[in-house]
Structure 1
Amino acid sequence: MEEQTLVIAMVGMLGIGAQWIAWRTGWPAIVLMLAAGFLAGPVLGLFDPEHAFGPLLDPMVAIGVALILFEGGLSLDFRELRHSGEGVLRLVVLGVPLAWVFGAVAANQIGGLEWPVAILFAGILVVTGPTVVMPMLRQSSVKPRPASMLKWEAIVNDPIGALCAVIAYEYFRKVAAFPDATLFEVVPPLILAAIIAGLIGYLAAAAIAWAFPRGAVPEYLKVPVLLTTVVAIFVLANQIEHEAGLVAVTVMGIALANMNISSLRSIHPFKQNIAVLLISGIFILLSASLDFEDLAYLNWNFGLFLLALLFLVRPATILLSLLGTKVPWNERLFLAWIAPRGIVLVAISGLFALRLSDLGYDGDALIGLSFAVVVATIVAHGFTIDLVARLLNVKGGTRPGIIFVGSTPWTISLAQMLTDMKTPVMIVDSSWQRLALARQKGLPTYHGEILNEATEHNLDLTPYQVLVAATENEAYNALVCNEFAYEIGRDKVFQLGESSDDKDRHAIPESIRGRALFDSGFGVEDVSERQSQGWVFRKTKLTEEFRFEDAQQRLPEAANMLLLLRDNGVIRFFTHAARPEPRAGDTIVSFSPPQEKTAEEIAAKRGNRKQGVPVT
C-alpha cells in the first residue's frame, strides 16, 4: 500500500514536472517525460511500476489510452476537413496499407525480424499517436492545414494500427493451429467486430447527446457520467474483440464533437486536464518499466531500420498517398518528416510481445524496439519540427498576437499602433457597422459572435495569445474573459475596469472578470470620454540611457501606462494587480492626454531626435 502511494506520487511529480520544464524551456515534453521515467526506473531504481501495481498495470495503461483517444476524438470537428479532408482520407485509406507493407519489408529485410514479428510490428507502426503529435503542435506554430492533417491522422490511425496488429496476430495464431488457414477466414470477422464497436461508440454518443441537454443528468454528474461511459464502452467493445475498444471510444469522441452539444463546452477544461495527467502518468510508468534486458535487441541492424523508417518508409507513404491531391508540395514534405510514435505503440507492443512468444516467435524483441522507435522519432521530430516548418514555409506567425473583442474607436486606435509595431491583431465584433472603421483602416477583422462555437472553427485563434474584451457591455466582457481563460490563460485575458460611475453599483465579481487594464482601472466609459477629449496612444522606446523613469518624466502627468512590448513580441500589460518590469529594448505604450507644445518644447523635441532620444 505504501509503495503504491509512493509510486503514484512520484509519477505525478515527475510527469507534471517534465511538462512544466517543457513549458519553460520549449523542449518537447514527451522527451523529458521519457527521460524522467527511464532515470527513475531502470537507471536509479527509485521505483518499479510492475512490482508496485502487478497485474493492474496493463489495465491501468489500457484505460488511460482509451481516455486519451476519446479526448482526442472530441477535438476532431468535421468542419476542419473543408481544407484538409481529401488529404486526411488519403492518409487513412492509402497511407495505412502502404505504411504497413513498407514497414514490414524494412523490419524484415533491414531490421532482421522474422516475418510474423515484422508484419505485426509494422501494423502497430502505422500509428503516429495524439499523445505526442498534439503536444508538438501546441509547442510549435504550424499552419492550420498541415496541423489539422497531422492531428486527424494521429487520432484516427491509432485504433486502426491496433486493429492491424490484431489482424496479424489472429492470422498467425490461426496458422499455428490450422496451417491451411487463409486471410479470408480471419479478416472479415475482425472488420465486422470493428464495425460493431464503432456502432456501439456512436450509440453511446447519441445517448449522451440526448440526455445532457434535456437535464437528465445534473451538471455536477456530467463529467463522472461521461468518463464512466467511456470506460464502460471500452470494456464492452473489448469483449467483442481485442483492441476493438479503441475503435469504440474514438468513434464516440468524434461523434460527440460533431453533435453540437452546448453543454459539453463546460467539460472541455476538465477533459484537457485529464489528458495532461494521463499522458504524463502513462509515459512515466511505461518508461520506468523498461528493463535493460529489453535493450539487448538494439543492434546496428535495428539502427539501420530506424533510419529507413524515418527517411524511406514515412516519406514514401506520404508522397504516394497524396499524389494527385491539392496539398502543396511543401506541406507534403513536412508531413513526410513528422511522424512521432507514442503511448499506443508501446502499450500494444508490450501486449503482443507476450502473445507472440506463446506462439513460438521471438516477441520479446518488440518491447525494446518499440521504445527505441518512440525515443528516436520523438527526439528527431520534436527537436526539428520548428526548423523544418520554417524551412518549408509551413510555420505560422511566431510573434504573439492580440485579439480585441469589440470594435470601438479605442480598440481600433490601439490595434493600429500595435500593427505598426509588427504585432498580429484581430478585431472581432458581431456588427458590420462597428467593424466598418476598422476595415477602412486596413485592420484584420472577423464578423461574428466570439462566444459562438462556430467561431472556433472559422477563426484560427492559435496566433493570438492575449485577449482584450472592450465592448461597451462590461458584463459581456467579463463573460468573454471567463470563457477564454481556460484556453488562453487566466493571466492573459483582459478587460477594461469598472467605469467611475459604476464603482458604487453592483460590481461584477472579480472571480469572473478578466484582468483590469491600467493601474487606475479605467472603465469603458472612462476611456471613451478621454478619447473624445483628444487622448491618444503614445509609444516610447527604452534604451540603456533612456530608462522607464525618463519616459515617465517626458509624458504628461495624467498619462496612464497600458502595456510594454518586448523585442521578441511578448506583450505585458500594466494592470491594477500587476506591473511588469520595464527594461532596455522594451517599447512602452501609454494612453495620454493631448500635449500643448510650445516653441521651446518643439525645439527640444527636435534636439532629442537628433541625439537619438526615442520619445514619440
Structure 2
Amino acid sequence: MIDSLLLQFMLIGSLGVGSQWIAWRFRLPAIVVMSIVGLLVGPVFGLMNPEQDFGELFKPIISLAVAVILFEGSLNLDMKEVRGLGRPVFRIVTFGAFISWILGALAAHYVAGLSWAVAFVIGGLFIVTGPTVILPLLRQAKLKPRPAKILKWEGIIVDPIGALLAVFAFEIIEFIMGTNVNPSELLLFFLASLFAVILGWACGKGVGWMFETGYVPEFLKSPVVFTVVIACFTIADEITHETGLLSVTAMGMTLANMHISSIADMRHFKENISLLLISTIFVMLTASLTQETLVEIFNVQIIGFVLLMLFIVRPLSIFLSTMGTDLSKSEKLLVGWIAPRGIVALTVASYFASILLESGFEDASILISLTFALVFTTVVAHGFTIGWLSKKLGLSMEGPPGVLISGGSQFATGMAKTLEDLKVPVLIADSSWERLSRTRAAGIKSYHGEILSEQTEYYLDMTPYEYLIAATELDSYNALVCTTFVPEFGRNNLYQLSLSDREGDNLENLVHTIGGRVLFKEGASWEELNIMVESGYVFRKTNITEQYKYENYLNNIDSEAVILFIKKPSGKIEFFSPEVENRAENGDVVVALTPPSKEFEKIQEKLEEQRKENGNKKQKK
C-alpha cells in the first residue's frame, strides 16, 4: 500500500493519462483501459485505496469533478445542433427515460431480488449514461452525425435526471414508509430542483453578460467560469443532494446557446480539463473497490440483472419511445444497444447504498457490486462493439483517413481528383461558387461556405477527415485556418501552402508560431502550383516496389517536379514538407506534380514498348 498521498496523486494522474494514450495508440476503448488499470492498482494488487486514503476529501473531489465534466459536456449542447432531431431526442430523454426507469425497477426487484423501495431508487439511477463514458466512445467510433448527436444529447441531459429520479424515488419511499409523513417534503424537493435550474440559468446568463460587456479580462475568463461552475454546483447540492448536477447542466446549456466567442475560445481548454478529470476519477473509483465487491459481482442474480438491462430494458425503452419518429431501424438498433454507465452511476449508488442501509433496507448492501457490474459490463460490451456494430449497420464514418482542402483552385481540384482515384475521402471547401465550379465539374465533393464560420460545424461533418490543407492564395488566411483547427485535427495533421514571395507580406516569422506545416518544397506557393497545372503539369502516381525502389524514383524524377505525398497501404497519407523527412517503402504510392515533357517521354516509352511487343508477336507467327 502506498502511504504518501502526493505519490498517489501522481500515480493516479499518470495511470489515467497513460490509459488514454494506450487506448489511442492501440485503438481501444479508453474507459475499458482505465477501468482495468484501476482494478489492478486497487483491489487486485492493493497498491492504493483512494476512498480510504483520501478520507472525507474523496466524495467532494469526485462530486466536483463530475460537475465540471457535466458542465463541459453541456457546453456542446447548442440547440442548432438538433435541427431535425428534436423529436427523437425529446422522446428518448423523457418517455424513454421513464420506460427505462420502470423496466429497470422491475428487473431489480424480480431478478436481482431487491425490495421494491431499493429497486425503484436504483432503477431511476440506472437510466444515466453520461458524458464520461459516451463522449470517449463517440470519439473512438466515428459515428455518422445523427446517431452521434442523439447519444451525446441523451447522455448529457439524462445524467442529472437519473440522479434526481433516484432522489425522488427515495423521497417517495420515505413518505410511503411513514418515516417522513410530511407531504411538504416532496414539494420542497421539486422546488429545490426548480431552483437548481433557475440558478444554473442565472449563472450562465450572468457569466455571459460579464464576458460580452468586458467586465472580465481575457486572462481571468477561464478561472471565473471554473469558479462559478463550482459555486453553482455546491449551492444547489447543499440545498438538495444531486440537484447540483442539474444546475451545472442548465448553466452549460445557457452559455452554449448565447453564442459568445469567449466561451467558444475556452471550450478546448475545458475539454482538456474534462479529459484529465475523466482519466483520473475513473481510476480512483475503480481502485477504491474492494475484493469482496468484485467477488459479489459473480452472483447469479447480479449477472441476470445485468443481462436483462443490456438486452431487454435498454432496447425496449428506445424502440417504444421512438415509435413514430423518423429514426431508421439501424439508428434505433445502435442507440438501443449503446448505453454505457459511468461515474455518476458509481458515485450516486455509493451515496444511496449508505442512506438506504441507515434507513433499514439491508438488501441495499449489494448496490455497489450491482452498480459496478453494470458499469464495467456496459463499458466493455459497448466499448468493443460500437465500432463493429456501427459499420454493420452502415452508421460509421470509419474508413481511410480523408483530406479536407480549404480553397478551390485548379491545383486543389487536380490533387483532390488524384486523392479520389486512390480511394481517399476528399472534400474542398470554399465560400465562392465560382472557385468551386471546376471542383463540381470534376465530380469532387465540395462544401460552399466559410470554413471559419461557426455554422460550419453544424452543416459540415468533419469526422471522415484527418488532414486539413489550407490552400488559398492568402497566406495569412491559410495560417488562420490552420491555427483555428488545431484542436480538431492536431498540429501534425494541418498543412498550408508555402508562403508567397510578395512584397509587404512579411510573414516569414509568423508561420513558425502559428499555422500549419508548410507543404511540399520551398517556393511551391499557390501561384507557382497553379501556374504549373495551367502549363500542363500532371499529377503522376508511381508505385514503389522491390524492383523499383524509392532511390530509383528519386534518381529518375524531373528536377522541376514537386513531390506531393505518399499513400501508405494502410491508407495513411504522408505529405511532403521541408519540416519532415519522408521516405517511401515497398507498397507505397508516391504522387508528384511532374512537367508535361516528362509525362510525354513516359507515354513515348510505353508506345515504343507496345510496338516492340507487337513486332515480336508478328515474328513468332
Q: TM-score range by the shorter chain?
A: over 0.9
TM-score (norm 1): 0.95
Task: Please state whether the residue corresponding to 2:213 is helix, strand or coil.
Answer: coil
Q: Which residue does 2:323 correspond to in 1?
A: 323
How far 1:551 sits from its partner (Å)? 2.4
Q: Which residue does 2:242 correspond to in 1?
A: 243
Q: Which residue does 2:618 correspond to in 1?
A: none
Greater displacement, 595-604 / 92-101: 595-604
How far 1:547 sits from its partner (Å)? 2.1
Give the residue type in structure 2 aligned to 1:429. Answer: D
Task: Please state whether the residue corresponding to 1:588 is helix, strand or coil.
Answer: strand
Is 1:552 aligned to 2:551, yes or no?
no
Is 1:199 aligned to 2:198, yes or no?
yes
Does structure 2 retain, via aligned residues, the 8 Å contact 1:176–1:359?
A: no
Does structure 1 retain, via aligned residues, the 8 Å contact 2:174–2:180?
A: no
Give the residue type in structure 1 aligned to 2:262. Answer: S
Q: Which residue does 2:144 correspond to in 1?
A: 143
Deviations 1:36-85 (A, max 9, x none): 11101111122221233110000000000000000000111111211321
Give the residue type in structure 1 aligned to 2:265. Answer: S
Label 1:178 to 1:447 Cα distance change in 2 as closer, same or farther (>3 A): same
Deviations 1:94-152 (A, max 9, x none): 01110001001111111112222211111110001211111111011211111110000
Task: Please state whether the residue corresponding to 1:135 is helix, strand or coil.
Answer: helix
Deviations 1:454-490 (A, max 9, x none): 1111111111111000111100100110010121101
Q: Which residue does 1:234 correspond to in 2?
A: 233
Give the residue type in structure 1 aligned to 2:454. Answer: E
Within the candidate set 585, 588, 599, 1:586 is matched to: 588
User: Which whole-Å CA distance do the structure 1 matches of 2:345 and 2:380 have between them?
Assistant: 16
Label 1:603 to 1:408 Cα distance change in 2 as closer, same or farther (>3 A): closer
Q: Which residue does 2:542 correspond to in 1?
A: 540
Q: Which residue does 2:109 correspond to in 1?
A: 108
User: Which whole-Å CA distance do the structure 1 matches of 2:414 and 2:611 have between them?
Assistant: 24
User: Which whole-Å CA distance do the structure 2 matches of 1:333 and 1:383 have between them?
Assistant: 16
Label 1:111 to 1:430 Cα distance change in 2 as closer, same or farther (>3 A): same
How far 1:525 sits from its partner (Å)? 2.4
Does structure 2 retain, via aligned residues, the 8 Å contact 1:556–1:595?
A: no
User: Which whole-Å CA distance do the structure 2 matches of 1:15 and 1:101 have between them?
Assistant: 35
User: Which whole-Å CA distance do the structure 1 matches of 2:471 and 2:477 have between them?
Assistant: 9
Is 1:515 aligned to 2:517, yes or no?
yes
Task: Please state whether the residue corresponding to 1:589 is helix, strand or coil.
Answer: strand
Task: Please state whether the residue corresponding to 2:466 is helix, strand or coil.
Answer: strand
Q: Which residue does 1:74 correspond to in 2?
A: 75
Greater displacement, 547-556 / 116-125: 547-556
User: Which whole-Å CA distance do the structure 2 matches of 1:461 and 1:601 have between them?
Assistant: 39
Give the residue type in structure 1 aligned to 2:293. Answer: D
How far 1:604 sits from its partner (Å)? 4.7
Task: Please state whether the residue corresponding to 1:269 is helix, strand or coil.
Answer: helix
User: Which whole-Å CA distance do the structure 1 matches of 2:603 and 2:404 have between them?
Assistant: 37
Q: Which residue does 1:614 correspond to in 2?
A: none
Give the residue type in structure 2 aligned to 1:334. Answer: L
Deviations 1:255-313 (A, max 9, x none): 11111101222202211110110000100000010011223432011111111111111
Q: Which residue does 1:125 correspond to in 2?
A: 126
User: Which whole-Å CA distance do the structure 1 matches of 2:35 and 2:489 have between them?
Assistant: 27
User: Which whole-Å CA distance do the structure 2 matches of 1:355 and 1:610 have between them?
Assistant: 92
Greater displacement, 349-358 / 532-541: 532-541
Q: Which residue does 1:480 correspond to in 2?
A: 481
Is 1:440 aligned to 2:445, yes or no?
no
Does structure 2 retain, via aligned residues, the 8 Å contact 1:562–1:589?
A: yes
**Identity across matched positions, percent:** 43
Does structure 2 retain, via aligned residues, the 8 Å contact 1:3–1:52?
A: no
User: Which whole-Å CA distance do the structure 2 matches of 1:294 and 1:599 have between them?
Assistant: 75
Does structure 2 retain, via aligned residues, the 8 Å contact 1:521–1:575?
A: no
Task: Please state whether the residue corresponding to 1:203 is helix, strand or coil.
Answer: helix
Label 1:610 to 1:111 Cα distance change in 2 as closer, same or farther (>3 A): farther
How far 1:581 sits from its partner (Å)? 3.4
Task: Please state whether the residue corresponding to 2:327 is helix, strand or coil.
Answer: coil
User: Which whole-Å CA distance do the structure 2 matches of 1:165 and 1:92 have between them?
Assistant: 16
Greater displacement, 43-52 / 187-196: 187-196
Give the residue type in structure 2 aligned to 1:171. Answer: I
Equivalent positions of 1:568-583 (< 5 A) are 568-583=570-585
Q: Which residue does 1:392 correspond to in 2?
A: 393
Task: Please state whether the residue corresponding to 1:94 is helix, strand or coil.
Answer: helix
Task: Please state whether the residue corresponding to 1:468 is helix, strand or coil.
Answer: strand
Give the residue type in structure 2 aligned to 1:250. Answer: T
Give the residue type in structure 2 aligned to 1:427. Answer: I
Label 1:598 to 1:315 Cα distance change in 2 as closer, same or farther (>3 A): closer
User: Which whole-Å CA distance do the structure 2 matches of 1:164 and 1:207 have between them?
Assistant: 29
Root-mean-square deviation (CA), in Å?
Answer: 2.1
Label 1:595 to 1:122 Cα distance change in 2 as closer, same or farther (>3 A): same
Task: Please state whether the residue corresponding to 2:395 is helix, strand or coil.
Answer: coil
User: Which whole-Å CA distance do the structure 2 matches of 1:125 and 1:609 have between them?
Assistant: 76
Q: Which residue does 1:33 correspond to in 2?
A: 34
Give the residue type in structure 1 aligned to 2:233. Answer: F
How far 1:175 sits from its partner (Å)? 3.8
Task: Please state whether the residue corresponding to 2:597 is helix, strand or coil.
Answer: coil
Q: Which residue does 2:422 correspond to in 1?
A: 421
Task: Please state whether the residue corresponding to 2:212 is helix, strand or coil.
Answer: coil
How far 1:228 sits from its partner (Å)? 0.4
Deviations 1:165-191 (A, max 9, x none): 10112222334444767xx76554323
Q: Which residue does 1:461 correspond to in 2?
A: 462
Label 1:609 to 1:38 Cα distance change in 2 as closer, same or farther (>3 A): farther
Greater displacement, 512-521 / 298-307: 512-521
Note the residue ranges of structure 2 that are not aligned, 5 or more in a row.
Answer: 614-621
Is 1:595 aligned to 2:594, yes or no?
no
User: Which whole-Å CA distance do the structure 2 matches of 1:365 and 1:580 have between them?
Assistant: 58
Task: Please state whether the residue corresponding to 2:85 is helix, strand or coil.
Answer: helix
How far 1:506 sits from its partner (Å)? 4.5
Does structure 1 retain, via aligned residues, the 8 Å contact 2:430–2:436?
A: yes
User: Which whole-Å CA distance do the structure 2 matches of 1:424 and 1:36 have between them?
Assistant: 37
How far 1:555 sits from its partner (Å)? 2.5
Give the residue type in structure 2 aligned to 1:552. Answer: L
Task: Please state whether the residue corresponding to 1:384 is helix, strand or coil.
Answer: helix
Pairs aligned (count): 609
Does structure 2 retain, via aligned residues, the 8 Å contact 1:201–1:252?
A: yes
Label 1:121 to 1:603 Cα distance change in 2 as closer, same or farther (>3 A): same
Equivalent positions of 1:14-93 (< 5 A) are 14-93=15-94
Label 1:178 to 1:603 Cα distance change in 2 as closer, same or farther (>3 A): closer
Task: Please state whether the residue corresponding to 2:596 is helix, strand or coil.
Answer: coil
Deviations 1:519-556 (A, max 9, x none): 33522222233333322221112223322222223421
Q: Which residue does 1:253 correspond to in 2?
A: 252
Task: Please state whether the residue corresponding to 1:539 is helix, strand or coil.
Answer: strand
Label 1:598 to 1:211 Cα distance change in 2 as closer, same or farther (>3 A): closer
